[in-house]
């Protein structure tokens, strides 16, 4: 019984480490999509929503990328 418990505990320590080292789980690989283009986290775009321009920033929400409204209007020098 003690051996089975030890083996189970080792599996909980080893398996997450293997997943963390996997190349498809890198945090930097996530992008947001806008008008057919990919944008890295932190990049901003100007979008027209409900007839008004807003500045959106690519952000991560609950381990998924999403566009977050930064401000009404667009400051062209800060956009990607």
Query: What are the pLDDT digits (tens) for 6-52?
Result: 444 444 544 444 444 444 445 557 899 999 999 999 999 999 999 99
**59 has a pLDDT exceeding 50:** yes
User: What is the pLDDT averaged over residues 41-67?
Assistant: 94
57 in Cβ contact with 68 (< 8 Å): yes
- CA 54 centroid distance within chain: 21
The label of the residue with tokens 């992008």 reads: 31
Residues ≥6 apart with Cβ < 8 Å to 51:
none
The label of the residue with tokens 């100007």 reads: 46
Neighbour count for residue 14 (Cβ, 10 Å): 10
Give the per-residue pLDDT at 5. 44
Give the per-residue pLDDT at 17. 45
Higher-confidence residue of 55 and 26: namely 55
């Amino acid at each position: 019984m003690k051996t089975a418990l030890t083996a189970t505990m080792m599996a909980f320590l080893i398996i997450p480490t293997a997943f963390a080292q996997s190349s498809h789980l890198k945090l930097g690989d996530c992008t947001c999509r806008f008008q057919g283009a990919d944008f890295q986290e932190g990049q901003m775009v100007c979008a027209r929503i409900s007839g008004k321009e807003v500045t959106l920033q690519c952000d991560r929400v609950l381990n998924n990328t999403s566009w977050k409204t930064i401000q009404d209007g667009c400051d062209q020098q800060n956009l990607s």
